[in-house]
Structure 1
Amino acid sequence: MSDPREILAGTSTIVVVGASRDPDKPAHSVPMQMMRHGWRIVPVNPFVSEIFGVRAYPSLADVPEPLDMVNVFRPSADALDVVKAAVELGARSIWLQQGIVNAQARRIAEAAGIPYVEDRCLAVERALGRLSRVSG
């Protein structure tokens, strides 16, 4: 597994698969916190057209730009398909949120040479590393 803080420090845009419009869910609060600290968020959710005031896309394949980091807020069983798509689309890094683990997905990302993190929270790593994309 790659160094989470190093990956985060080198990322400017986070594509969030499974982003939620429900403010009580981590899939909403974590990306919102990352936005507040300067990361650009691109939500992927097939059921809404906008989250965080930003256009949402139905799938990774619909995101019309290179994938910097793909952040996964989907169950572990769904992570494999997301990681396969992220690898196919040339993602620079892949991050599965806390509680999400998939050994096959990890092997696929590592075989493709893509930095990969699983079972870690973006917001916690940002806080521990005192990282921010916002200049003081």
Structure 2
Amino acid sequence: MSLIRDILQTNQRITVVGLSPNPDRPSHYVTEYMMSVGYEIYGVNPGQTRILGRPCHASISDLLKETPGPLGIVNVFRSSEFIPGLVDELIALAPDVRPKALWLQSGITHHSAEDRAREAGIAVVANRCIMVEHRNLAPPRETHSGS
């Protein structure tokens, strides 16, 4: 099973770092799509309390205080310069709540931080859109001929 398929099929919880209330922003419409296909979404944005009808938290630690449990996939919509600090925060978490995967959206990479996450047992997908990858994994629709 490919890494992407494994991540998307074995994790139903997605923690979205950098979730925007603006429907024109990728973090908003990508997250809305992932909600529509059944993922449990938790937003992290220090300037918001609710986005997409869901509670939004100031930080991952605040999220874990209110909603304990493993983070599943941490899907990041922040620029690359913020990735090392985020990885430090994720690695410092107790293993039972540490995410199974760190997903850096299209255009986001930080090789040394990605390597540190992998060394800590966190799978990493970088520079890829989670919505596009999910759609690529969806089974093809059946076509019906008019007979």
TM-score by length of 1: 0.91
Of the candidates 116, 127, 133, which is equivalent to residue 135 of structure 2? 127
Question: Separation in 2 of the partners of 1:32 and 1:87?
Answer: 28
* Residue identity opposite 2:18 in structure 1: G
- Counterpart for residue 82 of structure 1: 86
Question: Separation in 1 of the partners of 2:40 and 2:74?
Answer: 12
Question: Separation in 1 of the partners of 2:3 and 2:106?
Answer: 15
Secondary structure, aligned partner of 1:41: strand
**Larger CA Rg, structure 1 vs 2:** 2
Counterparts of residues 1-136 of structure 1 (less than 5 Å): 3-64=3-64, 65=68, 66-89=70-93, 90-130=98-138
- Counterpart for residue 144 of structure 2: none
Question: Separation in 2 of the partners of 1:63 and 1:38?
Answer: 20
**8 Å Cα contact 1:70/1:86 also seen in 2:** no
Structure 1 residue runs of 5 or longer lacking an equivalent are 132-136
* Residue identity opposite 2:39 in structure 1: W
Structure 2 residue runs of 5 or longer lacking an equivalent are 140-147
* Number of residue-to-residue matches in the alignment: 130
Residues 5-41 of structure 1 show CA distances to partners (whole Å, capped at 9, x for unaligned) of 2111111010000000000000100010000000011
Measured on the aligned residues, the alpha-carbon RMSD in Å equals: 1.3
1:129, CA displacement in angstroms?
Answer: 0.4
Question: Separation in 1 of the partners of 2:31 and 2:137?
Answer: 17
Q: Which runs of 4+ in 1 moved over 4 A?
A: none
The percent identity for this pair of structures is 38
